[in-house]
Amino acid sequence: MNLISASLLLVTACSGPVPDAVAEPPVIAPSTSEADLDADASHAVPLDPLALPTLELGEVETLLSVDGLRLEMQPWTFGADTGTAWRVRMPRDAAMEVQAHPTVQDFAAFLPDDTGPWAALNGGFYARGASGMEAMGLVVSGGEVHSPLRKGGGSGIARWGPGPIEVLHRSAWEPGATQALQSIDRIVGDGASLVNARPGKRPTARSALATSADAVWLVALAHTDSIQETSTGVRLRRTSGLGLPLWAFADYLVSAVDAEAALNLDGAISTSLAVQTPTERFELHGELGTINALVLRPGL
């Protein structure tokens, strides 16, 4: 199927850098882009469901499927707002690569140059530091530490090698992983949302890495008004302030992909997604670059 003609509404996540509840490293300047400090605060506090919009999900459409990689699209409705979620499913034994750079680059700079199959998603948050824009938390690529673990870098870490891809709390981190990325925040744990549902939280485009019982997912979503079709896929615009609040995104991951754990990644202006197969390519262009990226490949 032609991905471009398949109503290329697209998805992706958060916005610029977002601080954790405790800002630790002095080289990281406080961010003013978002403060979703409810993340990872045990489980969501009960709230009258009538006080909040209802998240409704449409029918899933498979756009591409090859060698264990499957690209899907799903419409969503949240109150008066509509949008699209795009998610890439891979087997639980998928391999993960963290592509890192000392400063912010165009997303294309992080993409492999082979014909795949692979899928890539924008990485973690960044902020201005002593030497310019810097990753806000732990970045390990090929066993090399590019940025240290920081309390202010977020409560969640995605790791791979040795062992399968997993999302764990920052306190459970032990050095030795081949690939690892810290981000703000761990938003699903033990199959439940970790984000308090509250009215008035800022919506935006979102992205995340999620794990379920038998799969690993790269998930992104955006508001209909942020999506513009291009000849190669989708370009996002006006992502900040349009999309879902963080708690609704966490609910989406639990409901739509049966997430057992999920790590929220940078999004909004940094949201970018690419999928490559031997015969086809899909690209989601964000509004700005990213400082790192996650690349997943089906297990060999």
Confidence of residue 300 (pLDDT cuts 50, 70, 90): low
The predicted structure's pLDDT at residue 232: 85
Q: Would you say the C-alpha torsion 216, 64, 300, 220 has a positive or negative sign? A: negative
The predicted structure's pLDDT at residue 56: 97
Give the CA-trace dihedral at 85, 34, 186, 167, to 10 degrees.
Answer: 70
Tens digit of each residue's pLDDT (9 = 90 or more) over 247-291:
999 999 999 999 999 999 998 899 999 999 999 999 999 999 999
Mean pLDDT for the stretch of residues 198-222? 95
Confidence of residue 36 (pLDDT cuts 50, 70, 90): very low
The predicted structure's pLDDT at residue 45: 52
The predicted structure's pLDDT at residue 240: 87
Tokens of 187: 């938003």
* Rounded distance between C-alpha atoms, residue 128 and residue 42, angstroms: 30
Query: Quick check: is 66 in a domain?
Result: yes
| pTM listed for this prediction | 0.85
2 pLDDT more than 50: no
What average pLDDT is seen over the chain? 86
Contact 32, 202 (CB under 8 A): no
Q: In one letter, which amino acid is 235? A: R
**Cis ω before 19 (30° cut-off from 0):** no
Tokens of 190: 């033990």
Query: Quick check: is 22 in a domain?
Result: no
The predicted structure's pLDDT at residue 179: 98
Q: What is the residue whose two structure tokens read 């949302």?
A: 193
The predicted structure's pLDDT at residue 172: 97
Query: Quick check: is 14 in a domain?
Result: no
The predicted structure's pLDDT at residue 253: 98
Give the C-alpha distances (Å, rounded to integers) separating 283 from 95, 208, 269: 21, 17, 15
Backbone angles phi, psi at 206, to 5 degrees: -135, 155
96 pLDDT more than 80: yes
Tokens of 270: 């940094």
155 pLDDT more than 70: yes
Could you count the other beta carbons within 10 Å of the beta carbon of residue 296?
Answer: 25
Instruction: State the total domains in the chain.
Output: 1
Query: Quick check: is 103 in a domain?
Result: yes
* Rounded distance between C-alpha atoms, residue 18 and residue 246, angstroms: 12
Mean pLDDT for the stretch of residues 146-168? 96
The predicted structure's pLDDT at residue 199: 87
Give the C-alpha distances (Å, rounded to integers) separating 102 from 89, 133, 143, 296: 29, 8, 16, 21
The predicted structure's pLDDT at residue 49: 55
Query: Quick check: is 38 in a domain?
Result: no
Tens digit of each residue's pLDDT (9 = 90 or more) over 234-245:
999 999 899 999
Parent domain of 292: 49-297
Q: What is the residue whose two structure tokens read 């806000």?
A: 136
Query: Quick check: is 43 in a domain?
Result: no
Tens digit of each residue's pLDDT (9 = 90 or more) over 111-152:
999 999 999 999 999 999 887 899 999 999 999 999 999 999
Query: Quick check: is 236 in a domain?
Result: yes
Tokens of 216: 């690993």
Give the C-alpha distances (Å, rounded to integers) separating 131 from 30, 92, 190: 15, 38, 38
DSSP state of 269: G
